[in-house]
Amino acid sequence: MAIVLGPNQYGKAEVRVVGVDRSTPRHSLVDLNVSSSLRGDFAAAHTAGDNAHVLTTDAQKNTVFAFARDGVGSPEEFGLRLARHFAGSFDWISGARVGVESYGWDRIAVGGQPHDHAFSRAGGEARTAVVTADGEQVHVLAGLTDLVVLKTTGSEFCGFPVDRYTTLPETRDRILATAVTARWCYTATDLDWDGVFSGVRTTLLETFAGTHSLALQQTLYAMGEAVLERHPPVAEIRFSMPNKHHFLQDLSAFGLANDLDGEGAVVYHAADRPYGLIEGTVLRDDVPPAEVAWLGTPGFC
Amino acid sequence: MAIVLGPNQYGKAEVRVVGVDRSTPRHSLVDLNVSSSLRGDFAAAHTAGDNAHVLTTDAQKNTVFAFARDGVGSPEEFGLRLARHFAGSFDWISGARVGVESYGWDRIAVGGQPHDHAFSRAGGEARTAVVTADGEQVHVLAGLTDLVVLKTTGSEFCGFPVDRYTTLPETRDRILATAVTARWCYTATDLDWDGVFSGVRTTLLETFAGTHSLALQQTLYAMGEAVLERHPPVAEIRFSMPNKHHFLQDLSAFGLANDLDGEGAVVYHAADRPYGLIEGTVLRDDVPPAEVAWLGTPGFC
Amino acid sequence: MAIVLGPNQYGKAEVRVVGVDRSTPRHSLVDLNVSSSLRGDFAAAHTAGDNAHVLTTDAQKNTVFAFARDGVGSPEEFGLRLARHFAGSFDWISGARVGVESYGWDRIAVGGQPHDHAFSRAGGEARTAVVTADGEQVHVLAGLTDLVVLKTTGSEFCGFPVDRYTTLPETRDRILATAVTARWCYTATDLDWDGVFSGVRTTLLETFAGTHSLALQQTLYAMGEAVLERHPPVAEIRFSMPNKHHFLQDLSAFGLANDLDGEGAVVYHAADRPYGLIEGTVLRDDVPPAEVAWLGTPGFC
Amino acid sequence: MAIVLGPNQYGKAEVRVVGVDRSTPRHSLVDLNVSSSLRGDFAAAHTAGDNAHVLTTDAQKNTVFAFARDGVGSPEEFGLRLARHFAGSFDWISGARVGVESYGWDRIAVGGQPHDHAFSRAGGEARTAVVTADGEQVHVLAGLTDLVVLKTTGSEFCGFPVDRYTTLPETRDRILATAVTARWCYTATDLDWDGVFSGVRTTLLETFAGTHSLALQQTLYAMGEAVLERHPPVAEIRFSMPNKHHFLQDLSAFGLANDLDGEGAVVYHAADRPYGLIEGTVLRDDVPPAEVAWLGTPGFC
């Protein structure tokens, strides 16, 4: 028996780079959080403290800033440039993973007109991209995190099995709320990244809204199926969707009905913890899997 | 010398109540985080563990849910109903503070049409209201937190004094970014709460965008002055505005200029800590102060 | 009627400075988060964008680092040096507030012996100090935040009034848990800061543990009273103590009693929100108040 | 081509259960955050909204509380009981993952004696366990998160390659700080869980302290190697270790040297982002891999 080094990677996490295009008076802005990881032969650093193969994480950070100077473009494009650069920089570096979070900004309206250089943050959601260079192969995941959505009706939950610990009553009408984290894998590396992303996001929202839900699992699958049907470059999509419980509040102790058909407001308690957590994958059965594309990306599959 | 009980209050914090109006198929939704605090004669609870005066925090929570059943309305209205109720509930309760955070939801568009009962969260910003009942008097603060705004130009910082520890160069063109927390006091308790709030928010955004900034202090004052000029019911406004530094990245070591007039993107590093913190008040000199309205509300004044 | 500038201050927040004493092989370490705010005549910056009075927040940051070079000492001492420096730096600066958070580190034990230069973080609690220079006067607050404590018995809650919304049953035996934030004001500026701090902290812990609690208010007052009795330099102490509810879980649906006297474990659910929030002050009646010492420090009084 | 359901799981996350052993006046306490996920045939729920196979997440939560009533024991034991129960509860459930976070509490000392029923939280670190039932097989991971450690010397970083973007100088003496997240896999399911955990934790701390570090990678490997050498039941250990940078502050502009051998304190700036991130595995080469044990556990491998 021997003790050996197993899989490893290292890099610089959370480089907060903001690029401003000032080429016309109507400025535009990209706001990114970039993390790089390198893979390859770094055994000597681990076993002997020999750093001859360790491209510093400081240099990785510098590279992010320097590359931004040429213009940033979409998160996927920026990730592709960086991942290819890192993977090709030294013989012993066989791969690189570049993860990008992108934060949206809207133009502030002044007198109804979008301002040239003043912006407000567009909410808690982030757009994500993960580019993995693995030797000559390159893989692109796109995604989003914390897209918080809610339906006030059009959601049931019935027909489940009952064991000793099951006390939940069935319901024909409940609030359904979740914070969608979705990541999807593309079959190509030269897409109209912004266009496809926008299309997938719209599909996710429209399908969530339009699906009469019998289970959050069903909603998840419907969202994934719609994305694959409408967006051919998407090979696979993975979801993590917490069930953010909104419990109908019992007001009977105060002589108040809290029925769904009464006057006034129907009153719910938005709970924090525990929460349901539904995770699942929807994919095409004729696309070969590319597990390396997902390596290091949070998720259960 | 004696050791005595000083100012005190107690209550239930962060009741997460969601009210849904289902009176028509086009549902609407309010999503609140409500905190109540009671003031009055609670000395015996402190000094003798005698709870005869302690309306339980559990009952305060129940009251929030029960009152929501009648319909919630604006944060200010809901706070007024609750604060008046608590302050009048027992002889020994002389006052109450009800703080409300309200989270926005947008209708999801399906095929371009806003959906009847499906919504997405409208971002990280929260609308706030604080209602203080103090005996017969009632005071209303409105506000917002975490309205994150940024200008890519139109901001200078020059002319400051130089001491031994001053190394900052002057700049004629920098990114200005902040997360506005503002709270303002009304002179009335029967306003069109949603209308005035919306107007003040627009004024804040437009003034931030439209002010050529020589200092974040100047921007803050201009925002406050504009609010008071355009919105007569506002007596006073208090701001806490972090200067979220975006530093121009030095790329000269890589042979790259990062000048403001070049090709490509101008590259900034968005820093976390430390940050500047600018706090200030703008007010009318003919309105008597109402310090009790601000008691317990974060801020420095 | 005129619109005027009211109270204001500005500074640099959250300077993360670590000072290491390497004068012997047995190193020691202070780990601080320092925030400074200046008060005085900054009207022109607000109303005209004239920065002639604005000592930059960058210089404030530099000062923190430069002063640390001389040795840091206790948070109170470091705050005193900085506050006096800032308040005396220019004619127009009439006051300064320096807030310090200090994070504890324990020596790692190797073979039972504390190591000379390796440390582990000592938990979530922070020690705090706030020094306010106001003209010639200087005030010192000490404190701590997030000291999380819990009793598994020795806590009752009974005898409260019942209104329409009161449904809580009385209890003779509950878990009592809180996260203590306490801040106290000293009557002197030349104390054995570490010694007094340590003594007060011990008094808080011992009194929490030793008090049979009839209400969290009673525990709060007992803690404050004990601090004032045992520590003469403390003039006043303010508490903010959330009631972190631990609810006895009802297991009767599964045929299980969850009584306090049974076999096995008594099972509680630790709830997040809502929570009770108890705030109060204990003070000496013969010490004149020093409100400026508390200006800008979170708390309700 | 068809669109199909891929890997999926669902469960209840973050059940906050506290168990108190009151069998003697000297109480003890376990404080857990439990998350369960079920794997098996849930296709109909996804594709048809048929919940006949969906053991509710509410029942999973109830099970956690009910099982705690029998006594909780170590996180690993509790996870084993739950995972075996869930995996065996219905034919169509082929596996279960139970993740546990455990929070430490110390007895409060009163007059130097540990109190019978009063406790304080033992810091930010959490102990973790992940038990995976996969058919008849059961796997146990133990671990810890956020063990924050720092060395003030005994750390170098030299000998790295230089590319166009490398500007970092070499250093022979730097602060090394990290927040260790480690998870290790056992070869058995009937260990003295608390004993082994405690031993591994001590090994991690002692090795961090005792290793003269030439790279954080080297420290990571040394920690893993020591764990495997000293603790035979551990088959593999995975680390995620951020390099929490502490930069020597340049004070030369103020006429101050900040050299390591001078008087006073050596002054560092503790940075937030970006940070290095070092991830790696150390394992025995004669133990067959058990990838299912790690499925759904954060980490890159």
Are D160 and A55 in contact (CB < 8 Å)?
A: yes
Chain B residue closest in CA terms to D168: B253
Query: Which stretch of DSSP H or E encloses residue D291?
Result: none
* Strand (E) or helix (H) holding C143: strand C137-151
Residue whose token pair is 């309200």 = B102
Chain-chain contact of C165 with A254 (C-beta, under 8 angstroms): yes
* pLDDT at res. A55: 98
Start-end of H helices in C239-294: none
Of A11, A221, A276, the CB nearest to D47: A221
Quote the CA–CA distance of C110 and A2 in Å, as a whole number. Answer: 26
- What is the pLDDT at residue C123? 83
Number of B–C residue contacts, CB under 8 Å: 279
Q: Token pair for residue C191? A: 């104390």
Q: Which of C301, C298, C300 is nearest to C101 (CA)?
A: C298
Active site residue C231: no
Separation CA B274–CA D272 (nearest Å): 10
Of all residues in chain B, the one with the smallest CA distance to A122 is: B123
Separation CA D264–CA B12 (nearest Å): 48
Tens digits of per-residue pLDDT, A89-129? 999 999 999 999 999 999 999 999 999 999 999 988 999 99
Helices (H), D113-239: 193-210, 216-230
In a domain, D260, yes or no: yes
Locate tokens 């700080």: which residue? D177
Average pLDDT for chain C: 97
Residues A150, B118: C-beta atoms closer than 8 Å: yes
**Cα gap C256→D68, rounded to integer Å:** 11
CA distance A185 to chain B (A): 24
Residue among B30, B70, B154 minimizing CB distance to A117: B154
| Token couple for C22 | 């390497």
DSSP character string of C180-212:
EEEEEEES-SSS-HHHHHHHHHHHHHHHHHHPP
Q: How far apart are CA D210 and CA D219, in angstroms?
A: 10
Q: Of C85, C115, C135, which marks where a domain is finished?
A: C135
CB contacts, 8 Å: D38 with chain A: none
Give D66 to chain A, closest Cα distance, Å.
8
Residue among C249, C209, C217, A83 nearest D65 (CA) = C249
Q: Which residues of B are catalytic?
A: 12, 57, 245
The 3-state DSSP class for residue C62 equals helix
Residue of D nearest to A156 (CA): D49
Q: Is A175 found in the same domain as A40?
A: no
Do residues B154 and B124 share a domain?
no
- The confidence score (pLDDT) of residue A300 equals 64
User: Same structural domain for residues D123 and D152?
Assistant: no
| Three-state SS annotation for D124-148 | CCEEEEEEEEECCEEEEEEEEEEEE
Contact B259, B60 (CB under 8 A): no
The single residue listed with the structure tokens 């917490």 is: A242
Q: How far apart are CA A10 and CA D276, in angstroms?
A: 7
CB contact at 8 A, B94 and B123:
no
Q: Which of A167, A253, A273 sits opposite C253 (nearest CB)?
A: A167
Q: Kindly determine whether residue C17 and residue D117, on different chains, have CB atoms separated by under 8 Å.
A: no
The per-residue pLDDT for A301 is 56
**Rounded-to-integer distance, Cα C294 and Cα D16, Å:** 36
Tell me: pLDDT of C171 over 90. Answer: yes
Q: What are the structure tokens assigned to D260, written together?
A: 């390591």
- Same structural domain, D131 and D161: no
Q: Could you give the CA distance from residue D197 to residue B114 in angstroms, rounded to a whole number?
A: 55
CA distance B107 to chain D (A): 25
Q: What is the least distance, in Å, from the CA of A276 to any CA of chain D?
A: 4
- Work out the mean pLDDT of chain D and round it to a whole number: 97
C76 domain residue, yes or no: yes
How far apart, in whole angstroms, are the C-alpha atoms of residue C20 and residue D260?
9
- Give the pLDDT confidence score for residue B255 in this predicted structure: 96
- The answer to whether residues C90 and D90 touch, using CB atoms and an 8 Å cutoff, is no
Percent of chain D with pLDDT over 70: 99
Contacts D253 to B, Cβ<8 Å: 167
Residues of chain D in contact with residue A132, where contact means CB-CB under 8 angstroms, are none
**What is the domain count for chain C?**
2
A247: nearest Cα among A255, A257, A258 = A258
Among A247, A249, A250, A254, pick the best mutation site for testing chain C contact (most C Cβ within 10 A). A254
* A151: nearest CB among B118, B149, B153: B118
Within-domain flag for D289? yes
Give yes or no: residues C157 and C120 share one domain: no
- Give the per-residue pLDDT at B300: 64
Pick from C54, C168, C275: CB nearest B160: C54
Q: How many CB atoms lie within 10 A of CB C261?
A: 9
How far apart CA C88 and CA C11 sit, in angstroms, is 15
pLDDT at D298: 84
User: Are D268 and D292 in contact, with CB atoms under 8 Å apart?
Assistant: no
Q: Considering only CB atoms, which chain C residues are within 8 Å of B50?
A: 159, 214
Under an 8 A CB cutoff, do C65 and D22 touch? no
Residues of A with catalytic annotation? 12, 57, 245
Mean pLDDT computed over C89-105: 97
Encoded tokens for D249: 């502050």
Residues B204 and A120: beta-carbon distance below 8 Å: no
B:D CB pairs within 8 Å: 9
- The answer to whether B86 and B104 are in contact (CB under 8 A) is no
Chain D residues whose beta carbon lies within 8 Å of the beta carbon of residue B254: 164-165
Select the residue of D5, D9, D62 nearest A167 (Cβ to Cβ). Answer: D62
Residue D197 resides in a domain: yes
Do A30 and A72 contact (CB within 8 A), yes or no?
A: yes
Q: How far apart are the first and last CA of chain D?
A: 31
Query: Do C212 and C173 belong to one domain?
Result: yes
Contact B123, B97 (CB under 8 A): no
Cα within 13 Å of Cα(B64), Cβ side: 29
Do B158 and B271 belong to one domain? Answer: yes
Encode pLDDT of D235-258 as tens digits.
999 999 999 999 999 999 999 999
Confidence of residue C85 (pLDDT cuts 50, 70, 90): very high
- Minimum-distance CB partner of D152 among C29, C70, C152: C29
Quick check: C263 pLDDT over 90?
no
Please, are residues D118 and D133 in contact by the beta-carbon 8 Å criterion?
Answer: no
Distance from CA of C247 to the nearest CA of B (A): 12
**3-class SS at A36?**
strand
Q: Does C141 fall in a domain?
A: no
Residue at token pair 């910056």: C45
Q: How far is Cα D194 from Cα C197, in angstroms, rounded to an integer?
A: 35
pLDDT in tens, A255-292: 999 999 878 899 999 999 999 999 999 999 999 989 99
Mean pLDDT of D65-72: 97
| pLDDT, average across residues A249-255 | 97
Looking at residues A81-88, what average pLDDT do you find? 97
Q: Are residues A127 and A173 in the same domain?
A: no
The domain boundary, picked from C78, C108, C135, lies at: C135
Tell me the pLDDT of chain A averaged across its residues. Answer: 97
In this structure, what DSSP letter does residue D168 have?
P
- Distance CA(D176)–CA(D182), nearest Å, equals 18
Question: Exposed, middle or buried: residue C36 (CB in 10 Å: 0-12, 13-18, 19+)?
Answer: buried
Encode pLDDT of A207-228 as tens digits. Answer: 999 999 999 999 999 999 999 9
Q: What pLDDT, on a 0 to 100 scale, did the predictor assign at position C264?
A: 86
Q: Is C165 exposed, middle or buried (0-12, 13-18, 19+ CB in 10 A)?
A: buried
DSSP 8-state class, residue A166: -
- In Å, how far is C113's CA from the nearest CA of chain D? 10
Cβ burial of C98 (10 Å; 0-12, 13-18, 19+) is buried
Write down the catalytic residue from D27, D57, D153, D189.
Answer: D57
What range defines the domain where residue D103 resides? Answer: 7-135
Query: In 3D, which of B93, B294, B56 has the Cα closest to residue C299?
Result: B294
C75 and C192 part of one domain: no
The mean predicted confidence, pLDDT, of chain B is 97
Tokens standing for residue D50: 């048929």
Query: Which residue is closest to C255 within chain A, CA to CA?
Result: A164
pLDDT of residue C298: 84
Residues A87 and A222 in one domain: no
* Residues of C in Cβ contact (< 8 Å) with A254: 164-165
Q: Indicate which CATH number applies to the domain containing B4.
A: 3.10.270.10
What is the token pair recorded at C298? 């979170």
Whether the Cβ atoms of residue C64 and residue D249 lie closer than 8 Å to each other: no
Other beta carbons within 10 angstroms of residue B4's beta carbon come to: 16
Which of C135, C159, C181 is the last residue before a domain boundary?
Answer: C135
Tell me how crowded residue C162 is: count the other CB atoms within 10 A of its CB. 11
**What is the pLDDT, as a whole number, of residue B37?**
98
**Helix, strand or coil for residue A209?**
helix
**With an 8 Å Cβ cutoff, are B13 and C274 in contact?**
yes
Q: Given this model, what pLDDT does residue C301 score?
A: 55
Q: Do C3 and B229 touch (CB under 8 A)?
A: yes
Neighbours of chain A (3+ CB pairs under 8 A): B, C, D
**C160 shares its domain with C121:** no
Q: Residues C183-197: pLDDT tens digits?
A: 999 999 999 999 999
Q: How far is B164 from chain D (nearest CA, A)?
A: 7
Residues of D in contact with C266 (CB under 8 A): 19-22
* Alpha-carbon separation of residue C285 from A185, C184, C188, C240 (angstroms): 69, 15, 17, 21
Enumerate the β-bridge partners of residue C153. none
What is residue B261's predicted lDDT score, i.e. its pLDDT? 84
Q: Looking at the predicted complex, does its ipTM rise above 0.90?
A: yes
Instruction: Tell whether the model's pLDDT for residue D301 goes beyond 60.
Output: no
Q: pLDDT grade, residue A140 (50/70/90)?
A: very high
Residue C239 pairs in a beta bridge with C182, C280
Contacts of B34 (CB under 8 A, 6+ apart): B14, B15, B17, B64, B78, B79, B82, B98, B99, B100
Best probe of the B interface among A12, A15, A16, A22, by most B CBs < 10 A, is A22
What pLDDT, on a 0 to 100 scale, did the predictor assign at position A299? Answer: 77
User: pLDDT of B172-225, one tens digit each?
Assistant: 999 999 999 999 999 999 999 999 999 999 999 999 999 999 999 999 999 999
Which pLDDT band holds residue C262 (cuts at 50, 70, 90)? confident
First and final C-alpha spacing in chain A? 31
**What's the half-sphere exposure (Cβ side, CA atoms, 13 Å) at D157?**
18
Q: List chain C residues with CB under 8 Å of B57.
A: 243, 274, 276-277
Marked catalytic residue, from C53, C57, C153, C189:
C57
Element (H, E) at C225: helix C216-230
* pLDDT at residue B223 in the model: 98
User: What does the alpha-carbon distance between residue C295 and residue C283 come to, in Å, rounded to a whole number?
Assistant: 17
The sign of the torsion formed by the CA atoms of C192, C194, C196, C197 equals: positive
Among candidates B71, B118, B258 on the partner chain, residue whose Cβ is nearest the Cβ of A264: B71
Q: Which residues of chain A make contact with C165, given a CB cutoff of 8 A?
A: 254
pLDDT of residue A298: 84
Asked whether the beta carbons of C165 and B62 are under 8 A apart, the reply is: yes
Could you report the per-residue pLDDT of D199-212, keeping only the tens digit for each? 999 999 999 999 99
How does DSSP assign C151-177, residue by residue? ESSSB-B------TT--PPPBSS--EE
Residues B130 and B185 in one domain: no
User: Number of CB pairs < 8 Å for A and B?
Assistant: 209
For residue D262, pLDDT beyond 80: no
Task: Pick the closest to residue D144 from D85, D227, D216, D245 (CA basis).
Answer: D227
What pTM, to 2 d.p., does this model score?
0.98
Residue A253's beta-bridge partner residues? none
Q: Looking up tokens 């960058």, which residue turns up?
A: C58
Find out whether the peptide bond into C274 is cis, omega within 30 degrees of 0: yes
Nearest CA of chain C to the CA of B186: how many Å? 15
- Determine which one of C61, C139, C244, C245 is catalytic: C245
Query: Cβ of A261: how many Cβ atoms within 10 Å?
Result: 9
Tens digit of each residue's pLDDT (9 = 90 or more) over C268-281: 999 999 999 999 99
**B56: nearest Cα among B12, B24, B97:** B12
Has residue D127 got a pLDDT over 90? yes
d(CA A33, CA D93): 40
A5/D221 CB distance under 8 A: yes
